[in-house]
Amino acid sequence: MTYWEERLPKYTGSTYHNRRRVLRSWLDFVEETERDLDAVGKKDVVAWMEWLRDEKKVVHSTINQWKIELSTVYSWLDENDYCENIFDGLKKKVDYDWLDARPEKSKGSAQGVTYVTREDYKKLFSACESDRERVIVGSLAELGVRRSELAWLQLESFNWENNEVTIKTAKQSKPELMYQPGFYTTSHKLLLKRWIDGERKAFAPASSSSYLLTGHKKEMIRPREITTIVREIADRAGIQAYREQEANGHGEDSPRQWAKVTPHALRHSYGVWRTKAGMPLSQLSRLMRHADVQTTHDYYLRFSNDDLKDAYDRYQPE
């Protein structure tokens, strides 16, 4: 398998060992059930999950985590044009509604908390191994962008003199919200320029691409690759964990529902950090490009138990 030879050796530590174990399980299943590795599809993925459950007695939460690991492999293979992503179109409600994948909730957090502390963010940024990774992590946290918004950023989007950027938002059904302003620090500007003038030029599509972040073979990085990169950096940083999914009735098979550190967690962090620093909610809502301030309040301002305890102590009456 191409991934085993080209991509896997680049990992270290827990990421390497976890990915290798999952790949070994998948290849053993393919061999044992006499399937053609070049012709497998989503039905084979489901069969593998059932094989793990019935033959190997693997618990549901581990099956779900292994499914996420294997989907990362096929995302890379698809991104590099080796094969189609066999996970495309795979839906929990339709294909494997038997899976009850509820891992232990992260310790010390209130229900639904999905943000990164400043201390863990520093660890995350320090674990980046390239300017490309630093730009991805830094832009998600510095601009509070969604992963699709980061992928859409173009070189001409930036006003370098004023440290401003025009962000094409994910709310394209509302023309008045399609393009919104964002801002960044001088240190982030220096990082962006270093990436543009340096590492970015080594990517094959860079000379013809107008996008800030290119893929290895495509002019625009795929949002899914952004998720993969953030999760892998969090693994290296030792801050990744899995949390219990909220029963919201949709998106059950999305990796971001399970991993603690994801692109969307960094977007949440953007909101939580600024709220804790005292930014008015109305201004934060505009910076996060929400159509309604209530969205900012209801879905992005989720604090840990420690945050709530600090607020309780800080605002004790005289």
Q: What is the pLDDT of residues 270-303, one digit of tens each?
A: 988 988 888 888 888 888 887 777 877 776 666 6
Q: What is the pLDDT of residue 289?
A: 81
Per-residue pLDDT of 143-166, as tens digits, reads 999 999 999 999 999 999 999 999
Question: Domains in the chain, ordered, with CATH?
Answer: 2-95 (1.10.150), 118-314 (1.10.443.10)
Q: What is the pLDDT of residue 248?
A: 40
Question: Which of the residues in the chain have pLDDT under 50?
Answer: 103-111, 113, 244-257
Q: What is the pLDDT of residue 103?
A: 43
Q: What is the pLDDT of residue 99?
A: 87
Q: What is the pLDDT of residue 109?
A: 37
Q: What is the pLDDT of residue 306?
A: 76
Q: What is the pLDDT of residue 128?
A: 94
Task: Enter the tokens of residue 181.
Answer: 């302003």
Q: What is the pLDDT of residue 286?
A: 84
pTM passes above 0.85:
no
